[in-house]
């Protein structure tokens, strides 16, 4: 194995009297793909800042190979002192870096370089920060939540760009699909310690669950041993006190070991306050349209949302996802068409803008509305400290100002506020931003058990695949299309991703003649028996494939198919993709032969 470019040894750091990191090791060699995982608050971002040289640990050493270049992407970039995004990106270049890369990366990420950093949206700020760290093409990229605030098109571009990079990567992300695609090594931060396993994130969760199961067995054995020792203390220590001081010390060590084991942060308890049952029809849109000036956002879109539906809305930033949801739920009136809401619909929504709350409020004030120490949850009340614990906040954080909360803590706060309201329709705008993977699992479980209807705007492909039953995507010029299943099912049916890149491969073509064969002009060439036979049979074959594709599309148009039989839906989707590939190949082959036949006839 090559020597590491970056080495952290015996790193220790204490926050607020509690050890956050204790003897942590991290090494990164040339070209390695490392993902750093762990619960919110486990120290992932702090360790990455230590690796970047921005924080000094209480103990330990940081070594960087001489000449190795490192670039760090923070969750919240600082644009102070830069008049334009181009100036900000150029400031990240080294003396030997290509200056043209700054503007090139900005253009690749949809920015001109002339933007004022003070007026950037969250997505634009993230893209400018990415351009700054990508432009120098460093030996090591340290990326803290790189996909936050990015739309799916940009995430997929970033994935392919990072996959093609020669430098090493260390990534913190809540996006499972992103980690599965890019990581080859996983470093797990757990209770102050780090464990490295030479497997990517795709295999990590199964490995971690096995480790935790084995730990539970060991914990059970430890508990039984403590019971035996305590029994001995009660009934056997008096007569042999002096010669059994060592055994008493061992019992103390066992108890400390158990305390250390149980120091792990508890699991979030995410529950939505259930409202009364809505009618079977939640919302119906008939040929609705909405425009801002000359720009159509929604054009003649129709759909029906039924009780229990889980609908995902995906698309590039600025495509109108939030506007579409606002029209469908009656928050905004359409310019044309009709929206009808069903009976007894009670909506709770999670806004994407987490800075809408007063930053000087305390956590308790944000949850209680500044009134007493009780949170209105559903039709009852719960003490604010107890409700905070459900969302993994510590009691001492009750008086913490919102301005000092981390991104993950702000995300959990917004969820806590939204889910306290009684509802039978949940509208969640980017709920997964900044949440750790285990909290995402709990949120997924809550949504699966929620008795009402869910409309979800998200860029998290894995989360969409796990939660939704249908996906609505923009097709351009205000047109929207609805596909049954999750995000991956949508790609299969559509045949392309949101940027238009093909996602299903056509059937392989017949091999071209060998380059060593003598060239034959069209005038001298004759159609072979095989070519003539193909010209005669391909039209019938294309008609058969076209009819089959039509039937498969009709089957997939049934909104209830996915819910009734997910396997049948997956098989039908796979067959449709194969048929579309065969049809494309047949049409191309027939066209080639028909052109050749016409040339020969003219000759």
> What pLDDT digit, counting tens, does each position of 478-508 carry?
999 999 888 988 988 887 777 666 665 444 4
Question: Beta 453-457 vs 310-313: how paired, if at all?
Answer: parallel
Instruction: Quick: pLDDT tens for 23-39.
Output: 999 999 999 999 999 88
What pairing do the DSSP bridges indicate for beta strands 185-190 and 33-37? parallel
In the predicted model, what is the mean pLDDT of residues 58-71?
95
What is the C-alpha separation between 454 and 470, in angstroms, rounded? 11
Residue 186 annotated as lining a ligand binding site: no
Q: Is 322 annotated as a binding residue?
A: yes
On whether 45 is known to bind a ligand per the annotation, the reply is yes
Q: What's the pLDDT at 550?
A: 83
Burial of 601 (0-12, 13-18, 19+ CB in 10 A): exposed
Work out the number of other CB atoms within 10 angstroms of the CB of residue 366: 20
200 annotated binding-site participant: no
Percentage with pLDDT > 90 across the chain: 43
State yes or no: 252 annotated in a binding site.
no
**478: annotated binding-site residue?**
no
Over residues 377-399, mean pLDDT: 85
| pLDDT tens digits, one per residue of 204-216 | 988 988 887 777 7
Above pLDDT 70, what percent of the chain?
A: 84
Look at residue 504 in the predicted model and tell me its pLDDT: 54
Give residue 494's pLDDT.
Answer: 83
Q: Is 320 annotated as belonging to a binding site?
A: yes
38 is in an annotated binding site: yes
Tell me whether the CATH fold assigned to 6-205 matches the one assigned to 505-602: no
Mean pLDDT, residues 129-136 taken together: 97
**Mean pLDDT along residues 553-560:** 75
- Give the mean model confidence (pLDDT) for residues 235-240: 47
Q: Is 148 known as a binding-site position?
A: no
Give the pair of three-digit tokens for residue 224: 């039984």
Supply the pLDDT for residue 255.
53
More confident residue, 367 or 246: 367
Task: Give 338-342's long-range contacts (Cβ < 8 A, gap of 24+).
Answer: 338/285, 338/286, 338/287, 338/288, 339/283, 339/284, 339/285, 339/286, 339/288, 340/281, 340/283, 340/284, 340/286, 341/282, 341/283, 342/278, 342/279, 342/280, 342/281, 342/282, 342/283, 342/284, 342/307
Contacts of 124 (CB under 8 A, 6+ apart): 85, 111, 115
H or E segment to which residue 222 belongs: helix 201-236
- Whether 121 has a binding-site annotation, put simply, is no
CATH code for residues 505-602: 1.10.287.380
The annotation status of 318 as a binding-site residue, yes or no, is: yes
Architecture of domain 6-205: 3-Layer(aba) Sandwich (3.40)
Q: What is the mean pLDDT of the chain?
A: 83
Report pLDDT for 590.
79
> Phi, psi (5° rounding) for residue 299?
-130, 105
**13-17, 276-280, 510-514, 534-538: least confidently modelled range:** 510-514
- Tokens coding 38: 């762990």
Mean pLDDT value of segment 569-576: 80
Taking alpha carbons only, the member of 518, 542, 517, 519 closest to residue 593 is 542
424 marked as binding residue? no
For the segment 110-130, what is each residue's pLDDT rounded down to a tens digit?
Answer: 999 999 999 998 889 999 999
User: What is the CATH T-level fold of the domain 281-493, as seen in this structure?
Assistant: Rossmann fold (3.40.50)
- pTM score above 0.85: no
> What are the extents of the domains in the chain?
6-205, 281-493, 505-602
């Amino acid at each position: 194995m090559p020597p590491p470019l970056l080495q952290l040894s015996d790193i220790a750091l204490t926050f607020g009297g509690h050890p956050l990191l204790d003897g942590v090791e991290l090494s990164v060699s040339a070209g390695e793909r490392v993902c750093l995982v762990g619960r919110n608050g486990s120290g992932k971002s702090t360790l990455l800042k230590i690796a970047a040289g921005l924080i000094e640990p209480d103990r330990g050493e940081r070594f960087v190979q001489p000449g190795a270049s490192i670039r760090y992407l923070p969750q919240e970039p600082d644009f102070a002192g830069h008049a334009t995004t181009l100036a900000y990106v150029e400031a990240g270049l080294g003396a030997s870096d290509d200056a043209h890369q700054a503007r090139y990366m900005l253009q690749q990420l949809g920015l001109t370089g002339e933007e004022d950093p003070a007026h950037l949206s969250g997505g634009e700020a993230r893209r400018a920060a990415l351009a700054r760290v990508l432009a120098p093409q460093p030996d090591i990229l340290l990326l803290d939540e790189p996909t936050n605030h990015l739309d799916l098109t940009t995430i997929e571009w970033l994935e392919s760009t990072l996959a093609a990079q020669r430098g090493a990567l260390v990534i913190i992300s809540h996006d499972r699909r992103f980690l599965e695609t890019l990581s080859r090594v996983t470093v797990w931060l757990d209770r102050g310690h780090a464990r490295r396993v030479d497997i990517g994130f795709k295999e990590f969760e199964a490995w971690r669950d096995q480790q935790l199961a084995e730990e539970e067995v060991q914990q059970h054995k430890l508990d039984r041993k403590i019971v035996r020792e305590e029994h001995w203390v009660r009934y056997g220590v008096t007569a042999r006190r002096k010669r059994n001081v060592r055994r008493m010390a061992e019992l103390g060590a066992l108890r400390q070991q158990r305390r250390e084991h149980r120091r792990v942060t508890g699991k979030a308890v995410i529950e939505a306050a259930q409202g009364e049952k809505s009618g079977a029809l939640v919302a119906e849109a008939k040929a609705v349209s909405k425009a801002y000036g000359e720009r159509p956002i929604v054009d003649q879109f129709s759909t029906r949302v039924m009780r229990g539906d889980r609908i995902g809305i995906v698309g590039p930033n600025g495509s109108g996802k939030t506007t579409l949801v606002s029209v469908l739920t009656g928050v905004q009136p359409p310019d044309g068409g009709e929206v009808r809401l069903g009976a007894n619909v009670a909506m709770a929504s999670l806004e994407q803008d987490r800075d809408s709350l007063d930053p000087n409020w305390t956590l308790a004030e944000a949850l209680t509305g500044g009134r007493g120490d009780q949170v209105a949850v559903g039709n009852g009340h719960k003490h604010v400290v107890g409700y905070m614990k459900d969302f993994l906040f510590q009691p001492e954080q009750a008086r913490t100002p919102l301005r000092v909360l981390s991104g993950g803590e702000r995300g959990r706060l917004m969820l806590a506020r939204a889910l306290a309201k009684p509802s039978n329709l949940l509208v969640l705008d980017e709920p997964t931003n900044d949440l750790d993977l285990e909290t995402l699992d709990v949120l997924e479980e809550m949504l699966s058990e929620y008795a009402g209807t869910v409309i979800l705007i998200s860029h998290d492909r894995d989360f969409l695949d796990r939660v939704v039953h249908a996906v609505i995507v923009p097709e351009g010029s205000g047109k929207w299309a609805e596909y049954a299943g999750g995000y991956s099912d949508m790609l299969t049916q559509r045949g392309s991703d949101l940027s238009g890149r093909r996602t299903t491969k056509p059937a392989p073509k017949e091999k071209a003649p060998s380059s060593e064969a003598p060239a034959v002009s069209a005038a001298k060439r004759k159609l072979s028996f095989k070519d003539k036979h193909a010209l005669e049979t391909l039209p019938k074959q294309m008609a058969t494939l076209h009819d089959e594709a039509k039937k498969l599309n009709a089957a997939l148009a049934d909104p209830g198919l996915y819910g009734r039989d997910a396997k049948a839906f997956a098989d039908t989707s796979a067959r449709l993709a194969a048929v579309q590939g065969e049809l494309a190949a047949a049409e191309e082959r027939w066209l080639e032969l028909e052109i050749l036949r016409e040339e020969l006839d003219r000759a």
